[in-house]
Amino acid sequence: MTTLSRRDALFLAAAVAAAPAARAQGGEPPLSMTWDLTDLYASDAAWEAERKALMAELPKIALYRGRLGESAATLRTALQLVSDLTRRGARLFVYASLKADEDLQVAANQERRQVAVGLFAEFGEATSWINPEVLALGAEKIRGFVAADPGLAKFRFGLEDTLRLAPHTLDAAGEALIAQATQTLSGPQQIRQQLVSSDLPWPEVELKRGKVRLDQQGYTAARSSPDRTERKLVFDRFFGALKTYESTLGASLSTQVQGDIFQAKARKYPSALAAALGGPNIPEGVYRTLVAEANRGLPILHRYFDIRRRMLGLSEMAYFDIYPPLTKLDLKFDVPASRRLTVEAVRPLGPEYGKLFAEASAAKWVHVYPQKGKRTGAYVNGGAYDVHPYMLLNHTDDYEGLSTYAHEWGHAMHTVLAVKHQPYELYGYPTFTAEVASTVNEQLLVSHMLKGVKGRDERLFYLDRVCEMMRSTFFRQTMFAEFELTIHEVAEKGEALSGKRLTEIYLDLLKRYHGPRVTIDPLYGIEWAYIQHFYLNFYVYQYATSVTAASAFAEKILGGGARERDAYLGVLKAGGSDYPVAVLQKAGVDMTGPEPYRAMLTKFSRTLDEMERLIA
């Protein structure tokens, strides 16, 4: 969970060095502004002791090698051992990751995270023989074991998935080799993160509000300046800084793409896309239908840009005019207010959801405000099954902060409900459904806010939030997805991917998605270097599919009753007990065809109709 597009608006200028104090409202006790990691481990020393204990346990897995076919009981015991050790390892990783993100400048914490990554590489190597051995036993024997031993019921889905992936599973030696390569293959992402977060000399600019250092945080805060000259200056200087390192950043992303292709070939997939979708069993047609339907809907997006141009009073629209708000909302949403409004917004999800949310959001699960060295963006880490999810925010006391608060709590509540209704082996849901939960919360929030509007400008503000969700989460993420698909296909043809070539490809997409009436300086084609999610191997498309599914669910929830609500909650409670496309289909949303996309784009068009009536 992440730090792209809409949530980039959360970052504050680098000058913000300390978090503001909590401000309680209505006599409520102050909410905690930082998380309590002692729920995971009492200290760094306790973490290290557990790591060593886990490492000492790993050799026990090898005791079952060659024995899985002895009996159903032996198979169950071996799988339970692996599950238990995975559970402990995940908890170790959560702690290491959270500690590292509190302050990226603390070397000891960064080293601990690297050790945790290494632990999982060793764990992967220790378990690499299991799937090949299961496949060697054959489907008939495995299914017979599952039928004979009720204790294997929670492992059934995983075993069936292993059988499904037989054509892409290597022998034990091959699986061990892939596991050993995990840390090396993550190198490009780590290099890019280090360069952009720590080593790149970001420029400083003098704006009306003062001097701003245009790193990632400063850029995302300053790009929405009401002064058009300032906006252009911010874009030119920020992307100019990235352009200086175009070759280096291009080499980094190109190496990442080659790593994706290597893994796809190693597992006998026809392409990197097929490999990325194969794990969660998502039909390739879902990805390609998304891209096709987004391109089909571009005239609606271009219409929005023209409305934006008119509302900003511009004779022409430029790419740096995308981010300033169209109307001013003189309301502040600190954390207590954000919590209260989110409680009200999610009431259509019923009493169980509401009660769990009220309890969870009052606990010490969240690191709320920006501070020096803290990782930017927002995410939820739900990897510690036996504890609770943790949330990182960089809260701003505006509507974007409120919206992201609701968004991230959608993720957290997904985890809470999955843990409550599924065993550890089945609670972990894929990204494809994860972003549905968060985006439903966003859509319920904006619907709730629209009910209480007090004037034309306030209504236009919230209608524009709907449009911005369409622009940033559907169209922009699909543009990213099309970029990813293009650069992988270029590399798979054996063609080179230099930084210059990446910029050319991205600039062509920028121009097509924004249309002929939005001016785009060629310099801005370097924006691909700003998007860290390109290092996550076909990840971003799921934001676009998720906002589409979420739009369908939100319409059903707000226009229906208990049946529609419970169908959606069933998605959250299902966790990872079935494939994500099937989970959504059971709840009444089919992402394999164009219908959900076209319904959402019709809603977008209706929203533009209302905006045009209000500004006429």
Q: Can you give the CATH number for the domain in which 101 is found?
A: 1.20.140.70
**pTM beyond cutoff 0.85:** yes
Residues 6+ apart with CB under 8 A from 579: 280, 281, 282
Same domain, 181 and 42: yes
Local structure of 214: helix, strand or coil: coil
pLDDT above 80: residue 427: yes
| Structure confidence by residue, pLDDT tens digits, 138-150 | 999 999 999 999 9
User: What pLDDT is stored for residue 178 in this prediction?
Assistant: 87
Q: Is residue 146 part of a domain?
A: yes
pLDDT at 247 over 90: yes
Q: Is residue 333 part of a domain?
A: no
pLDDT, tens only, 453-463 = 888 999 999 99
Chain mean pLDDT for the chain: 92
> What are the tokens at 520?
């785009």
Residue 4 has pLDDT above 50, yes or no: no
pLDDT value, residue 181 = 86
Residues 107 and 71 in one domain: yes
CB-based burial label for 328 (10 Å; 0-12, 13-18, 19+):
exposed
Q: What is the pLDDT of residue 182?
A: 81
Half-sphere exposure at residue 99, Cβ-oriented, CA atoms within 13 angstroms: 26
**Per-residue model confidence (pLDDT) at position 594:** 96
Judged against a pLDDT cut of 80, whether residue 28 lies above it is answered with: no
Same domain, 157 and 207: no
Whole-number CA gyration radius for the chain: 24
Give the mean model confidence (pLDDT) for residues 560-587: 96
Q: Per residue in 335-364, pLDDT tens? A: 999 999 999 999 999 999 999 999 999 999
Residue 109 inside a domain? The answer is: yes
Coil, strand or helix: which one is 317?
A: strand
DSSP helix/strand/coil, 470: helix
Say whether both 230 and 125 belong to one domain: no
List the one residue out of 531, 535, 483 whose CA is nearest residue 185.
535
CATH number of the domain residue 229 falls in: 1.10.287.830
- For 496-533, the pLDDT digits (tens) are 999 999 999 999 999 999 999 999 999 999 999 999 99
- pLDDT for the residue 560: 87
Whether residue 14 has pLDDT greater than 60 = no
Question: Do 211 and 238 sit in the same domain of this protein?
Answer: yes
Q: What is the pLDDT of residue 376?
A: 84
Whether 554 is covered by a domain: the verdict is no
What are the b/e assignments for 94-133, b being 16+ CB within 10 Å? bbbbbbbbbebeeeebbebbeebbebbbbbbbbbbbbbbb
Of the given ranges (193-202, 315-324, 506-515), which has the lowest mean pLDDT? 193-202
- 408 an active-site residue? yes
Same structural domain, 139 and 209: no
Q: How many Cβ atoms from other residues are within 10 Å of residue 613's Cβ?
A: 8
- Residue-number span of the structural domain to which 73 is assigned: 38-185
Q: Encode pLDDT of 472-495 as tens digits.
A: 999 999 999 999 999 999 999 999
pLDDT tens-place string over residues 261-271: 999 999 999 99
357 token code pair: 């949310």
Q: Are 282 and 484 in contact (CB under 8 A)?
A: no
Contact predicate 249/239, CB 8 Å: no
pLDDT at residue 193 in the model: 87
In a domain, 468, yes or no: no
Choosing from 408, 425, 442, 564, the catalytic residue is 408
Which tokens go with 103?
Answer: 């302050």
Could you tell me if 171 and 65 lie in one domain? Answer: yes
Torsion of CA 477, 478, 484, 485, to 10 degrees: 160
Residues of the chain by 3-state class (helix, strand, coil), percent to 5 = 70, 5, 30
Is residue 16 scored above 90 in pLDDT? no
Beta-sheet pairing, 204-207 with 210-213: antiparallel
The Cα–Cα gap between 226 and 219 comes to 14
In a domain, 66, yes or no: yes
Instruction: Give which of 315, 414, 489, 394 is closest to 20, Cα–Cα.
Output: 394
Same domain, 52 and 100: yes
**Does residue 29 register a pLDDT over 90?**
no
Secondary structure (3-state) at 204: strand
Lowest mean pLDDT among 168-182, 372-386, 482-496: 168-182
**Residue 217 binned pLDDT confidence (cut-offs 50, 70, 90):** confident
Give the three-class secondary structure for 367.
strand
Q: What is the DSSP string of 487-536?
A: HHHHHHTT----HHHHHHHHHHHHHHHH-TTEE--GGGGGGGGG-GGGGS
Rounded Cα gap, residues 63 and 258, in angstroms: 36
pLDDT of residue 7: 33
234, 113: one domain? no
**5/473 Cα distance (integer angstroms):** 7
What is the identity of the amino acid at 504?
Answer: E
* Residue among 346, 614, 309, 334 nearest 463 (CA): 614
6-15, 379-388, 447-456: segment of lowest average pLDDT: 6-15
Cα separation, 162 vs 179, in Å, equals: 17
For residues 401-422, average pLDDT: 97
State how beta strands 379-381 and 390-392 pair: antiparallel
Token pair recorded at residue 417: 């409900």
Please state, in angstroms and rounded to a whole number, the distance separating the CA atoms of residues 537 and 189. Answer: 11
- The Cα–Cα gap between 32 and 50 comes to 28
CA–CA separation, 220 vs 229, rounded Å? 16
Co-location of 161 and 45 in the same domain: yes
| Mean pLDDT confidence for 9-27 | 32
Which ranges constitute the DSSP H helices of 103-215?
A: 107-127, 130-137, 139-148, 156-164, 172-180, 182-185, 187-194
Q: How far apart are CA 6 and CA 471, in angstroms?
A: 9
Q: What are phi and psi of 200, to 5 degrees?
A: -70, 130
Number of domains observed in the structure of the chain: 2
Contact 234, 202 (CB under 8 A): no
Reported as a single tens digit per residue, the pLDDT across 47-93 is: 999 999 999 999 999 999 999 999 999 999 999 999 999 999 999 99
Would 22 be classed as within a structural domain?
Answer: no
| 574 vs 16, residue with greater confidence | 574
pLDDT higher for 21 or 390? 390
**One domain, residues 45 and 179:** yes
How confident is the model at residue 513, as a pLDDT?
Answer: 98
Q: Residue 73 falls within a domain, yes or no?
A: yes
- Residues 144, 100 share a domain: yes
Average pLDDT for 389-400: 93
How far is residue 122's CA from residue 128's CA, in Å, rounded to a whole number? 10
Rounded Cα gap, residues 442 and 334, in angstroms: 17
Q: Smallest Cα–Cα separation from 35: which of 358, 372, 365, 359?
A: 365
